[in-house]
Structure 1
Amino acid sequence: MPKAPPGLTSSALADEERRRGVRRMKTFATGLLLAVALVYALAKWAQAAGAGAWAGFVAAAAEAGMVGALADWFAVTALFRRPLGLPIPHTAIIPTKKDQLGVSLGEFVGENFLSGEVVRRRLRAVGIGSRLGAWLARPEHADRVTAELAAALRGALTVLRDSDVRAVVGEAITRRANAQEIAPALGSALEQIVTKGGHRKVVDLVCVRAHDWLVTHGDSVMQAVTGGAPGWTPRFVDRKVGERVYRELLRFVTEMRDMPDHPARGAVDRFLTDFAGDLRSDPDTRARVERLKSEVLDRGEVQDLITSAWNSVRAMVVAAAEDERSELRLRARAAILSLGARMTADDRLRAKVDGWLEDAAVHVVTTYQDEITSLITETVAGWDAEQTSRKVEAHIGRDLQFIRVNGTVVGALAGLLIYTASRLVGG
């Protein structure tokens, strides 16, 4: 940081540098909005001039980009002042609610009250990892920790209601499944299966079962054929046709069963290969798989299966936690003793544990800063409302301007996607 000029503190100089950064980002975000507006105007002009279908896509993307940019501009501006000076409710949030928002000024807290580096330095001087390792390495302490963990686990599993677990676990599984597209992975797996010939045993089984079914249900096949014949054809002709169709169908299935190089088998291989490729790259196929996945996850049978699995796991874990000689508790005790011995002898592990503890302490300090001290609230309460707004904007305004940029880009992409989807659906 450059040296502060006379009469200007280093903190004030830092604030001024931040304000310059905010102004630069505002200029960039506004310029991006104007650029998108220009693209929209040109695209609409080109569309009216009959430039082609591409102009509609560009115009839709630009229009949605403008909407996103304006919406995020309003949201960001409303934090610090009234947009366009209009008395819109729930705007100028920071000036009007500085006392409540003062406790959330993370940068101010880091510079004036709480410092993560100070917390880290003090914890590092204590050497918690070394002390904790020596304590855990003693058998009586390991027994105590194991018993406490078992009691906590048993209590937690006992008080949990099945409906709550079903809701939480079901929602977690659904969210995780919906967050990851499965079609490409299925396509890759299917391609490997086809390449290695793993599907041929399934084809063999289908052919055998189809042959046996035809042999057993020949009358049904012929009745189906004759039943669909026109009423004006003689019955002996219908019967002859039915018998011919049945013989040809039986011959085809028999040949397919007995001939590994039958053309129909090759057709099955090609179909599966093409389907695997569609799963990986065809948008329509991938979208259908995603819809099917969602429908399966939403079925009550799947949720009931989750509940049943949870009940079984809970009963097994509770029983193991109650038994002092259970494999679960014995393994937990051995793991605690081993951890203590390793922490005592291994400098790298000790350093990792110290780092984890330091991170946790810093997280608590920075997250629960309102509960740690009331000094922040009292200090900010004495600030002028306009000063508070300027200070907060100087600290976080540059990052907030990125929201405008992201809103422009994401809006344009969403508009393009919606326009494309509407064109596809509309034919």
Structure 2
Amino acid sequence: MAEATRTAEPGLLTEADADKLRGLTRMKALATGLLVFVAVVYALATWAEHAGAGAWAGYVAAAAEAGMVGALADWFAVTALFRRPLGLPIPHTAIIPTKKDQLGRSLGDFVGENFLAEDVVRQKLRSIGLGDRLGAWLSRPESAERVTAELATALRGGLTVLRDADVQAVLAEAITRRAEAQEISPALGRLLEKTVADDGHRRFVDLMCAQAAEWLGKHRDAVLTAVEGGAPGWTPRFVDRRVGDRVHRELLRFVTEMRDAPDHPARAALDRFLTDFAAKLQGDEETRARVEKLKTDFIGRPEVQELIASAWGALRSMIVTAAEDERSALRRRATEAVLTLGARLSSDERLRDKLDGWVADATVHVVSGYRAEITSVITDTVASWDARTTSRKIELHIGRDLQFIRLNGTVIGSLAGLVIHAVTTAAGG
């Protein structure tokens, strides 16, 4: 009994066990005190009976004697659960220390069969009404903002953990592999064909003609220099300048007319060229092979690879900035999406049933597939305790209630002894 009055051993019993230990100690002291009390009463009543105090002394002595027997018997029964009474090797005592591992396995099996059964899990989840509760909670603006804030924190944390170099390498490799695996010529051909058919290229042609006319108007000397540089050395200089001037005027006239005349023959020729080129992109093997080689060479250039890799840095910075700013469009849209989801869950019974079903199926899958691993937490934990610690922990949790058995045994024993003495006296009288 003195063992339970010691303080909890460091590393064996937790700080939370301190209150239980004090309560157990008080109850043991009370039960033991009652045993001492009836023993003293028995001694005094027996002395009084022998001294001729009267018949009442016999009744008191009999009650006290039976109370002592009941108290000692129940003390033995309670103590035998946790240790050997008086250290004696009595069979079927110290039950918990000797049966520790078996008790752990039985407890694990009990939890697995009665708390982790599929029907029990489904019934419990169905009674919770998760979809309804979640919808009501998400429908509140403060809840939606909290969810958005938590998602933003998780997003920032995830992006912070990721190494930019690793992500950039993976991103560049994925884009490169996808681009190399996908032939672009047919798609480009179809796009160009549709663009020409819808006159979508006209604005681009207008822009090029306007820019060419503007450039020729401002750079006459550049044209003259180019013509003079390509002329034979034996031609007179004034002839070269006249030829250059004529070339400049003709070029300027050509692009001006092409700019101002939507039905210019050059525009029609350009349309035919683009239409033919679109057809070749889709059906001509040689053209398609050239385009694919050009694509591969373009993607393989270091500048392009660096551009692909740098895109991650810009995207990451944009996402982190938006996640940190409570007034950003990303945060606002996320909050609106959460509120919308909450409203749908609150109003759409089918959606709630689907959510409840998904949660139930997922939980049952985990419980059914990992029941042994879950219950092994109990059995392995109990098995890892030494026998003395296990006995101490269990005694701290239920020992206080068990002391009432000792108290009840003393009181009931006294009453039983009193009744037996009374009946015996009456029968003998």
The bucket for the TM-score relative to the shorter chain is 0.3 to 0.5
TM-score for the superposition, normalised by structure 2: 0.47
Tell me which structure has the larger Cα radius of gyration: 2
TM-score for the superposition, normalised by structure 1: 0.47
